[in-house]
Amino acid sequence: MPRSGADARRRLQQAALDLYRERGFDQTTAADIAQRAGVNARTFFRHFPDKREVLFDGEADLRAALAQYVREAPDGSTPAEVLLHAFRKAAHILEDNRAFAEPRLALIAETPTLRERDLAKGAAMAASVAEGLRGRGVDDRLADLAAHTGWAAFHHAAQNWIDDPAPGLQAHLVRAFAEVNALFGAVTPPS
Amino acid sequence: MPRSGADARRRLQQAALDLYRERGFDQTTAADIAQRAGVNARTFFRHFPDKREVLFDGEADLRAALAQYVREAPDGSTPAEVLLHAFRKAAHILEDNRAFAEPRLALIAETPTLRERDLAKGAAMAASVAEGLRGRGVDDRLADLAAHTGWAAFHHAAQNWIDDPAPGLQAHLVRAFAEVNALFGAVTPPS
């Protein structure tokens, strides 16, 4: 029975997630994952450079999508409006992968080596979004500030959506942006 | 001439910074740094676990100081007010190390392995600040959101202070918080 590359890739991801949860990330090898997925180790490395990357497969798609949606946001949008527009348009990417999203976040939270990779991916995501804002004429430093605070809001929304999927990720994003507004709107200037 | 441990430590830091700038981080060994500082390699490793940590020496002090200032912020402060209070109180830690701050930030920006460590330190800092907010009764998730957005504002202020030290870091912090407020206050709820 021939298997498409996309099918093997998906099965490798599922096998990795299952094994990481059963044995722990550090106790699982790429060969174990390949075996569980019914492919050989060479196939594993044709799809992924290492066993961490299996869990970050959607990041490149998400980054590319966000870059596009930042470019396409309506003229005259403020930087935060651009971000909220882009994040909401990209919400389906997470929603389409909901089955992976929850165990993935839990694994990352409890595995230091995955936390490191996740931080690096998050920083790359924020840098890419900031670049997109600069491309729309937003000031250099302000673009970084908007991207990093916006990314924190995105992360917050995604976690709330894991806990409570019913309203949808888009609603959680709108709420997260409102929460940042409420947090910082209330600051009394120091005397 | 006897040298105190604190003196050796300071000289190791200066030697590391000088060598990283002259040769690049990857081309410098711990032994090179020790030699430049006039101590032996054993002394280097008594002070620092590796050559990355030399550049992150103040982080533990800053984290401890922030934890204390978060606890001591006036009753009735909002989470963002608590953070601004704590960051302003801690500003002198960066200002006292201004000579290191500028080349250090430039080095981190251009050296991937230092970027990684910096991200991990930043995440630990935000986690510690979030824990402090929870200790004040702030909701679990909201504490994380406030800490991460606040940390982005801190970072932004520190970079602006590097470029323009005259107003002082405290003034840059106040401005950074106002900028986050302006960014997120302007979001029009999507239809």
Q: CB A39: neighbour CB atoms within 10 A?
A: 20
B156–A177 CB contact, under 8 Å: no
Closest partner residue to A145 (CB to CB) among B119, B156, B187 is B156
One-letter identity of residue A148:
H
B74 Cβ under 8 Å from any chain A Cβ: no
Min distance B20 CA to chain A CA atoms (Å): 22
Chain B positions in Cβ-Cβ contact with residue A88 (cut-off 8 Å) = 190
B149–A149 CB contact, under 8 Å: yes
What pLDDT band is residue A186 in, cutting at 50, 70 and 90?
Answer: low
Min distance A1 CA to chain B CA atoms (Å): 44
User: Residues A152-190, buried b or exposed e (16+ Cβ, 10 A)?
Assistant: bbbbbbbbbbbeeeeeebbbbbbebbbbbbebbeebeee
Residue A111 carries which DSSP code?
-
Q: Is the pLDDT of residue B118 over 60?
A: yes
Q: What is the mean pLDDT of residues B156-181?
A: 94
pTM for the full predicted model = 0.89
Based on C-alpha coordinates, what's the Rg of chain B? 19
A145 Cβ under 8 Å from any chain B Cβ: yes
The pLDDT score that the predictor gives to residue A190 is 60
Separation of alpha carbons A143 and B91, rounded Å: 24
What distances in angstroms separate CA B38 from CA A125, B34, B50, B51, B65, one per listed residue? 43, 6, 18, 16, 32
B187–A81 CB contact, under 8 Å: yes
Q: Which token pair is B114?
A: 């230092």
A181–B187 CB contact, under 8 Å: yes
What distances in angstroms separate CA B146 from CA B9, B15, B86, B150, B177, one per listed residue? 35, 37, 13, 6, 11
Q: Which token pair is B4?
A: 């105190």
Question: Looking up tokens 């392995």, which residue turns up?
Answer: B113
Q: What long-range pairs does B28-37 form, CB within 8 A, spacing at least 24?
A: B37/B8, B37/B11, B37/B12
pLDDT digits (tens, 9 = 90+) for A27-52: 999 999 999 999 999 999 999 999 99
Query: For chain B, which domains are there?
Result: 5-53 (1.10.10.60), 58-185 (1.10.357.10)
Separation of alpha carbons A42 and A130, rounded Å: 37
Closest partner residue to B80 (CB to CB) among A155, A177, A187 is A187
Query: Which of A3-7, B105-109, B119-123, B126-130 is the most confident on average?
Result: B126-130
Interface test with B, best of A145, A162, A177 (most B CBs within 10 A): A145
φ, ψ at B35 (rounded to 5°):
-60, -45
What distances in angstroms separate CA B140 from CA A191, B130, B146, one per listed residue? 29, 8, 10
The pLDDT score that the predictor gives to residue B137 is 96
Q: How many CA atoms lie within 13 A of A146 on its CB side?
A: 28
Closest partner residue to B177 (CB to CB) among A85, A179, A184 is A184
The pLDDT score that the predictor gives to residue A187 is 67
Helix (H), strand (E), coil (C) string for chain B: CCCCHHHHHHHHHHHHHHHHHHHCCCCCCHHHHHHHHCCCHHHHHHHCCCCCHHHHCCHHHHHHHHHHHHHHCCCCCCHHHHHHHHHHHHHHHHHCCHHHHHHHHHHHHHCHHHHHHHHHHHHHHHHHHHHHHHHCCCCHHHHHHHHHHHHHHHHHHHHHHHHCCCCCHHHHHHHHHHHHHHHHHCCCCCC
User: What is the share, in percent, of chain B residues with pLDDT greater than 70?
Assistant: 95
Q: CB B127: neighbour CB atoms within 10 A?
A: 16
B100 burial class (0-12, 13-18, 19+ CB within 10 angstroms)? middle
Q: What is the mean pLDDT of residues B147-158?
A: 96
Q: What is the mean pLDDT of chain B?
A: 91
At residue A62, the 3 state secondary structure works out as helix
